[in-house]
Structure formats: structure tokens, C-alpha cells
Chains A and B, each alone.
Chain A
Amino acid sequence: MTVRISITVNGRRFDRDVEPRQLLVHFIRDLGGFTGTKIGCDTSQCGSCTVLLDGVAMKSCTCLAVQADGSEVITIEGLAKEGQLHPLQEAFWNKHGLQCGFCTPGMIMASHELLRTNPKPTDDAIRHGLAGNLCRCTGYQNIVRAVREAATAMAK
């Protein structure tokens, strides 16, 4: 059995027949071809699959594609506008906020949510805000620095 749904990913509309059990993250990667969104676990712990669903961050492995019918998804590929990196992307680059890069798309999208809800976070607030995203390379310290720099840049 399949269900016809329509999801817009990074401004492109995808009308597709999907199995009801299909996760949003698989829709994004396999049908949308946006492989920047990563799958790092199967228990919604790692946050590598974090995307914006109608502007709000969510782990796209916790959502069925059919639940996102009619929604607009922004992934890491949709964050830069007209070749201009988003301040978060720029800050992760400046502050060496990534090493292997696998958690990075989810980490940046979660940071996007953090700054949307708290534009001037303390380091402590950044650390708590990102506690749902796992990184094994950086020890988080440069990620905290990056989010702080992005917050400053975005406040200007």
C-alpha cells in the first residue's frame, strides 16, 4: 500500500507515492536526493538527521513522511542562499566546529533552532540546546564557539 503525498524540500516540490511506514529522513535522502541529511542511529538519539520542518527543527527519523505531507522541509543543502553561506555554516568553518563532518548537518540545523528560540545564548544554554545532538570528534567545544560566533554575526 502506498500513499500519495507532497513535500517541498529546499524549495523543490516532490509528489510521491510512499509506504506509510517510510520515515521522513528516507524520503529526504532517497526520493529527494538530499543526502546531506545523515542517519547516525535508529533511536532518535544522535540528531544527525535534524532538519527544519515548517521552520522548526526536528529529527527527521522521528517523523513519518506521511506526517509531513504538505510541509516544507529545509535541509543543510537549503541553508545557504544564492551561494552565500548561512552565518552558522560560516561560523562552524571559522571555529573548526567539525572534523569528520558526519554530525555537522544535524548539528547546524539544531543550532539554527537554538538561535531561533534564543538569539543570545550563554555557553551553558548552547551546551544544553545541543545536548540532543551527538558528535564524537570535536568534544563539542568548538561547536559551542561556532554557535556563539554565529549568534553575534546574526545579531548584527
Chain B
Amino acid sequence: MSSRIFGSGIRRREDPRLITGAATYTDDLTMPGMLHAVMLRSPHAYAKITRIDTSRARQAPGVIASYTGADVNLNAMPCAWLPPNSSLKIAKYPTVAVDTVRYVGDIVAVVVAETPEQGYDALELIDVEYRPLNASLDPQKSCAPGAPQLHEDVPSNLAFQWTVSGGDVDAAFKNADVVVKERIVQQRLIPNAMEPRAALAKWAGASGELTLWNTTQNPHILRYLTSVVTGIAEDKLRVIAPEVGGGFGCKIPAYPGEFLAIFASRKLNRPVKWTETRSENYQATTHGRDHVQEVELAATKDGTILGIRARSWSAMGAYLSTAAPGIPTILHGLMLSGVYNVPAIKEDVYGVYTNATPVEAYRGAGRPEATFIIERMVDKLAAELTMDPVAVRQKNLIPKFENGHSVATGLTYDSGDYPGILKKLLDHVNYEALRKEQAAARTAGKIMGIGVGTYVEICGLGPSQVASAVGFQGGLWESAIVRVHPTGKVNVFIGASPHGQGEETTFAQLVAAEIGVAVDDVKVVHGDTETTPMGWGTYGSRTTAVGGAALVLATRKVKEKAKLLAAHLLEAAVEDMDYDDGKFFVKGSPDKAKTIQDIALMANLSWNMPPGMEGGLEASMFYDPPNFTYPFGAHLAVVEIDGDTGDVTLKRYVAIDDCGPQINPIIVEGQVHGGVVQGIGQALWEEAVYDANGQLVTGSMLDYALPRADRLPNIEVLSTVTPSPHHPLGLKGIGEAGTIASTATVYNAVMDALAPMGVKTLRMPFTPERVWRAIHAGGKSGGN
């Protein structure tokens, strides 16, 4: 049975607690003497604080303390991704604003009270006088002359300037028959993890130890950063990520909220909990995307791509969040070749401070934006040459490769079969017939569009030496400890921290497949820095690609020791030993086998060990991958547009992805569904809108249009399997694939639908009004 557990779509073991309401998320925690912190946030996008008086609030019922920027002696918020050669300017990011607020939602004061209600009441009694300043929101305008300057030490609001360059771009454009151009707006998005962020800090004054429960994707990184910000030594800090309700990138960074809960808990020597409201989440939990790109693609008249040249202005928001500078640079620019042979690539990226919420990784993080550029430009090229978009793709695809392919940006993709997966897509949908159906629909007066998107993504982050070279201030290895108990039951401790992705199940499957225990006999422990080995967290589709490799290799160490002990117990030479499905035996004598459970007992008893062998049956592995992994895929969308209303209906969506071998295909399919829908959301509905004064207009779920069940078709999910040559099991990762592919795919479908009306470009999201106006303006539409 265990040999078949790899690849089996078993039910998740996480689920019983989640479907019965027994799971404990951070905000569900309570403890004796617990106080509640609430935040007063700036109503202005940019203003000087001329006076602040908390004296009335401090007198309010239930209020224990209040703090302003002058009271809080925490170190500044850290930025931990410092792209090299980028003239990076990290503006001071205080946990509480001192004399200047720089975005709506900036923390101005903290109130700690017996109940949250008493805290919120007291916020009303804090008197603040502001002197509003002109705000700056648009990343292109914010670094232009005359724009308001956000930080004294950052002229032109330029946080960094970074360039990726490979091949001879000037020659590519000089030799081009055609050049297509596009201005792309990657609108600002709100991640919307369903669980708002929360923190509970408990200071133990007697021992000087601090425990923090927090909604984080990476408790070990958070402990490290907490030590930096609060000055509490790492060995006295315990960070626990209990059940975490989705992250999508916004729970990677450290935030002022958790540090202020810690600050208050230390001051007051009582547990302090802080839970954001959804309105606060929209204002102050990190956003994603918000880039403006000017892109040119050079090609010959037969559709061969010669080069890409781009400039990208990336809004960073008011401060640099923990990993923010790495997103629009490293994770974006290096992926501009996509699945194509692109001999020359150059992109200049400008990171710009704006009076908005700081941005961070958001599902896909840089790669959706890169995929969008190349996939959009390929379609533009097809339109320019009146070629079918698929034909242009086929002309330029990198041929199948199994062990390394280098692209102009300097990356070496691990393995891929892009022509194969595109062919599978075309066959599955019968592309020719679909185009005929479209022609007939157009004749009948319908507005129908077909969009194709191909992608390759960089994930499984990543070799630590590369992390160093690209300025990531951490390692990117992962860790696992496999401990076999005397009864043969197994505990696995991992440094990564899943929060919905199902590794408690899939990692148990990995162990079961390796050493032949029942999958139900393996428990995966994660999310607590006190019990798990150091690890860098769950993001960038890396938990399985890196942590899974650590786990497999740790399990193989256990198996190797078990084999040695089995040989000793059977009085045989190791080289005469054989193994099958949890049993060790002398070759040819499977009836006299020692099971892994027998060996676990003997190892833990240590009554009869070979000379020099330690007791116990346990191994750990710190795995640093030799390369990234590169999942890929081909997607297709069919849309229909109501010409009277501009409403876009997604009629069909097909996703074919290749993440290597699948541990649990049901979980892979679930990741694809969710990822695809998140990307569809960006194309069709979602945008964080600020007005000219920096007020967040889409300040609640009433105003920000999230995908809902009734607006979506059933997604057809298929796959191919191309193992990674460097992962012990060939696994690549699937967490972000759907999102990376689907925005460009749906965008291309809508533009294909609108092409007969002369619409050549249009800004996302495709709201009915925007589409209706484009239809009626035809080729005269303003577009991006």
C-alpha cells in the first residue's frame, strides 16, 4: 500500500479540525489577563502631525495604556531584500508614525484596553491635528520632477533602480522588421486572505521570554526579525503560527502590529492581543502589484522574436515592506523570456515610494507581471502580423529539454516541454474547431474571444548562494527532522509553515512512500519555532520543492540507518540486504524480514546495536537546492461579452500545468483552481483604487470586487509530468502556477473578443463600464 501512497489523492488530515470548528487561529486564542491593542490610523495619505494628545483616551473606561510614536522605543521596521547595484534607499519605517504620516492607515497611536470595544471607544478620544500635504500615488509621476517628496533622504522618491540585461538589445531592435509597443498597467491588488492578521504577545517577565502567536507564513523569519526590532534575544523568543487562514504573500512580512503587541505586553506584563478589522486589513496589510510598464518587442516579419525592451515603474507604497524590493526586480525581470527563445532582453525597473499601503509579494509575486508582458506582447505581435497567436507561440517556443536551458536573463531553466504542453492544450480544446465556432458566433453577432497563455515560473526558492547574490537577506534552504518512535509511529518536524496547502497530508505521504509506514502513522509538525528546526517559510511555491526535498532526504537517512541495524540484527552483511515496502531482509529471504517498526523499537531500546551506532531512529536534513524549479503550463480561456452592458462572462477555462510528479493530485488540482481564480480576479474584477488625495476608495469588501462562486465556470484541469532533474523526486511546486498564467490568458481572450471593434489595448480590470466604453469608442479607446 505504502508504495502507492505517492500519487494518491487521499483526503487531507488537516480537514477534520477545520470542518468541525475545532481549529485554533490566532484570534481564537484567549488567556487570563489578556488585554487588547487597537490602532489609531492616519486618515491622511501624507500629513505632518502637529499635535497629538492621548490624555482623554487614557481616562476612558477599561483603558490600561496608550502609546504614540514618541513613547515607542522599538527599532525601525526591517527591509530584508536588498537587490544589489540598485542604489537602494531604505527610508526609515517606524512602527508608529512620529511626526509624519505617509499613507492612509499609517499607525498614529496604540490603545491597550480590557476589551476591544473599550479600545475602539478610546480611539475616538485621541486628539490629533494634522497638516495635510499633497500626496503622490502614481509611480511614474512620483519620481518625476515636482512630485511631493515622501522621505527627506530619498530624492525623487526613487527607492531603487535596477536593470536586467542580456543579449544585444540595440541590435535586436535595429534588425527588426516589426516593433510592437504596449503600456501595461498592473493594477494594485489586495490579497484578501480570508483570515485578517492577528498577533498575541505574552511576555514572561520572570524569565525574560516572549511568546508570539501570529498569522505568519514564516515563523522562523519572524522570530529573527522580531529579535532585530524588539531587541529580545532569539533564544528567548518563541513564534508560533497556529492555524493560519491563507496568506498569498501578505503574511510573509513583519508588521508593526505584532511588534506593538510585544511592546505593550512587555510594558504591562500581561498578554496583549491585536486583531485587525477587515477595513484595517485593506488599509494596512500589504497590497500587491501596482506597476506601470512600457514595453517594446522586436521581431522579424515571419514572427520570430528578436528582443524585448521595457521600463517598469513599481510603486512600493510609503515604506519598503520586508521582501518588497525583490518582487518587481529579481522575481520579475529575470523571467521576461517566458517559454520563448528571446535573444535579447533589457528592463529598467524603478521602485518608487508612493503615499499608499506598502506592497509585498502577492501570489506569483513578480512572475505574473513578467508572464503578462511576454504573453501580451506575443499576442500583439500576432495581431500586427495577422498571424494566429498560437502560431507565433509555436514559432518561438524553447524546444523540449530535460536538463538545463539557459535564457538571456541568465537563468537556467531546469526542464520543460513547452511545445508538448501547448499541443496537449490545442488537442484538448480542438483549437481549430474552436476558432471556427468563434467565427460563426461573430457572424451571429456575438462578441466571443479566445485567449491562450503559456508560462514558465521560477519557484522552489532557491539556492542560498543565489539568495545572497540577489540580495535576499536570508538563506533559502529548508529543513526536516524525521523521528521514528519506539512503536514505529513517526513525527516529522519541518521548518516551513503551510497555511492551507495541505503538507500535513502530502508530507506524510512522502514519508510513507519512502520507509513503508502507514500514512496515518506519520504526523507532520510545523509552525512553532520552539519545536521545529529553522526554516525559511512557505511562499514562492517552495515548501514541497525545497522542504519536500529536505524531508525525503532526511527520511532516506533514517532508512539507511534502519538498513544497517537490520543487517546487524539479522547477522548479515549490509550489502546482502534488500528492502521492500517497509521490510528489510537478506536477499532471497523475505520471510525473515525486520519491519521498520521492529527496527524502530530496537533502535530506541538500543539493547543490541552495532559498534559505534547511536541510539534512536531519527535524522535531520538541511537541504539547499542546486537550482530553482521551473513549472510551466498552457492555459486557454473563452469569454463572451454582452455588447449592451460590457459584462464579460468567462465561458470556459482550461489549465494544463506541469509541476513534475504529483504527490497528491487532488491537492494539486485544488491549488490550480484557487490560483487560476485569483488571476481571473485581476483580469476581470479586482483593483485597489485610491483617489487623488490617497484615500482608499475600495476600502471594504463592498467596494473591492472579489471573485464569487456565481461568476465562474468549472475549470478544466489537466497536467503533464516533466520531472525536475535536480529534485530528489523531480517535484517542482504548484502554488502560484494558476495565478501566473490566468491573468494574461483571460486578458488575451477579452482583447481577442474586442479586436473586431478595433480595440487594441485596455486597462485591467475589465469592468463592464470600461469594456462598454471601449466597445463604443472602438479603436479610439484610451486604453492603458
Q: Given the complex of chains A and B, what is the CA–CA distance between A137 and B15 in angstroms?
A: 14
Q: Are A103 and B194 in contact (CB under 8 A)?
A: yes
Q: Are A139 and B701 in contact (CB under 8 A)?
A: no
Binds A, one of B437-445, B636-644, B707-715: B707-715
When distances are taken between beta carbons in the complex, the residues of chain A under 8 Å from B709 are: 126-128, 130-131, 133, 135, 140, 143-144
Q: Are B23 and A101 in contact (CB under 8 A)?
A: yes
Q: Give B783 Cβ to nearest chain A Cβ, in Å.
A: 29
Tell me the nearest residue of chain A to B699, going by C-beta. A43
Q: Give A97 Cβ to nearest chain B Cβ, in Å.
A: 9
**Which parts of A22-41 form the interface with B (CB within 8 Å)?**
22, 29, 34-41
With A45-B700, A93-B12 given, is the CB distance from A39 to B27 under 8 Å? yes
Q: Are B20 and A138 in contact (CB under 8 A)?
A: no
The contact of A136 among B24, B248, B702, by CB within 8 Å, is B248
Asked if A71 is an interface residue, CB under 8 A from chain B, the answer is no
When distances are taken between beta carbons in the complex, the residues of chain B under 8 Å from A4 are: none
With A102-B245, A127-B710, A136-B706 given, is the CB distance from A43 to B19 under 8 Å? no
The contact of A89 among B12, B20, B195, B714, by CB within 8 Å, is B20
Asked if B95 is an interface residue, CB under 8 A from chain A, the answer is no
Q: Are A41 and B700 in contact (CB under 8 A)?
A: yes
Asked if B18 is an interface residue, CB under 8 A from chain A, the answer is yes
Q: Give A151 Cβ to nearest chain B Cβ, in Å.
A: 15
Asked if B674 is an interface residue, CB under 8 A from chain A, the answer is yes
Q: Given the complex of chains A and B, what is the CA–CA distance between A63 and B128 in angstroms?
A: 33
Q: Given the complex of chains A and B, what is the CA–CA distance between A77 and B23 in angstroms?
A: 11
Q: Are A102 and B246 in contact (CB under 8 A)?
A: yes
Q: Given the complex of chains A and B, what is the CA–CA distance between A23 and B62 in angstroms?
A: 19
Q: Are B19 and A98 in contact (CB under 8 A)?
A: yes
Interface string of A50-85 (1 = CB under 8 A from B): 000000000000000000000000011101100001
Q: Are B674 and A137 in contact (CB under 8 A)?
A: yes
Asked if A19 is an interface residue, CB under 8 A from chain B, the answer is yes
Interface centre among B193, B701, B712, by most chain A C-beta atoms within 10 angstroms, is B701
**Which parts of A87-101 form the interface with B (CB within 8 Å)?**
89, 92-94, 96, 98-101
Q: Are A131 and B708 in contact (CB under 8 A)?
A: yes
When distances are taken between beta carbons in the complex, the residues of chain A under 8 Å from B246 are: 99-100, 102, 136-137
The contact of A75 among B21, B195, B499, B666, by CB within 8 Å, is B21
Q: Number of B interface residues, CB 8 Å? A: 56
Asked if B431 is an interface residue, CB under 8 A from chain A, the answer is no
The contact of A102 among B12, B194, B666, by CB within 8 Å, is B194
When distances are taken between beta carbons in the complex, the residues of chain A under 8 Å from B502 are: 99
When distances are taken between beta carbons in the complex, the residues of chain B under 8 Å from A141 are: 673, 712, 714-715
Interface string of B187-224 (1 = CB under 8 A from A): 00001111110000000000000000000000000000
Q: Are B500 and A99 in contact (CB under 8 A)?
A: yes
Q: Are B700 and A140 in contact (CB under 8 A)?
A: no
When distances are taken between beta carbons in the complex, the residues of chain B under 8 Å from A128 are: 709-710
The contact of A139 among B28, B192, B715, by CB within 8 Å, is B715
Q: Are B700 and A43 in contact (CB under 8 A)?
A: yes
Q: Are B19 and A93 in contact (CB under 8 A)?
A: yes
The contact of A92 among B15, B21, B27, B244, by CB within 8 Å, is B15
Q: Are A96 and B193 in contact (CB under 8 A)?
A: no
Q: Are A99 and B501 in contact (CB under 8 A)?
A: yes
Asked if B756 is an interface residue, CB under 8 A from chain A, the answer is no
Q: Are B20 and A142 in contact (CB under 8 A)?
A: no
Q: Are B278 and A41 in contact (CB under 8 A)?
A: yes
Q: Are A136 and B700 in contact (CB under 8 A)?
A: no
The contact of A36 among B20, B191, B700, by CB within 8 Å, is B20
Q: Are A96 and B666 in contact (CB under 8 A)?
A: yes
Q: Give A61 Cβ to nearest chain B Cβ, in Å.
A: 10
Interface string of B1-35 (1 = CB under 8 A from A): 00000000001101111111111110110000000
Q: Are B194 and A42 in contact (CB under 8 A)?
A: no
The contact of B243 among A101, A140, A142, by CB within 8 Å, is A101
Q: Are A100 and B194 in contact (CB under 8 A)?
A: yes
When distances are taken between beta carbons in the complex, the residues of chain B under 8 Å from A37 are: 21
The contact of A42 among B279, B666, B675, B678, by CB within 8 Å, is B279
The contact of B710 among A40, A131, A137, by CB within 8 Å, is A131
Tell me the nearest residue of chain B to A123, going by C-beta. B714
Q: Give A55 Cβ to nearest chain B Cβ, in Å.
A: 18
Q: Are B22 and A134 in contact (CB under 8 A)?
A: no
Q: Given the complex of chains A and B, what is the CA–CA distance between A136 and B192 in angstroms?
A: 7
When distances are taken between beta carbons in the complex, the residues of chain B under 8 Å from A142 are: 669-670, 673
Asked if B310 is an interface residue, CB under 8 A from chain A, the answer is no
Q: Give B688 Cβ to nearest chain A Cβ, in Å.
A: 15
Q: Given the complex of chains A and B, what is the CA–CA distance between A141 and B673 in angstroms?
A: 7
Asked if A46 is an interface residue, CB under 8 A from chain B, the answer is yes
Q: Given the complex of chains A and B, what is the CA–CA distance between A99 and B14 in angstroms?
A: 9
What are 22 sample pairs from A and B whose C-beta atoms fall under 8 A apart? Answer: A35-B21, A35-B25, A38-B194, A39-B27, A40-B195, A43-B701, A77-B21, A80-B20, A98-B19, A99-B670, A100-B246, A104-B19, A126-B709, A127-B709, A131-B708, A136-B191, A136-B192, A136-B706, A137-B194, A138-B670, A138-B673, A139-B678
15 additional A-B pairs beyond A43-B701, A43-B702, beta carbons within 8 Å, are A35-B24, A35-B25, A35-B27, A41-B700, A76-B19, A89-B20, A93-B11, A96-B670, A99-B674, A105-B21, A127-B712, A128-B709, A130-B709, A133-B709, A136-B678
The 7 A-B residue pairs whose C-beta atoms are closest, nearest first, are: A36-B21, A102-B245, A100-B500, A101-B18, A139-B677, A45-B701, A76-B21
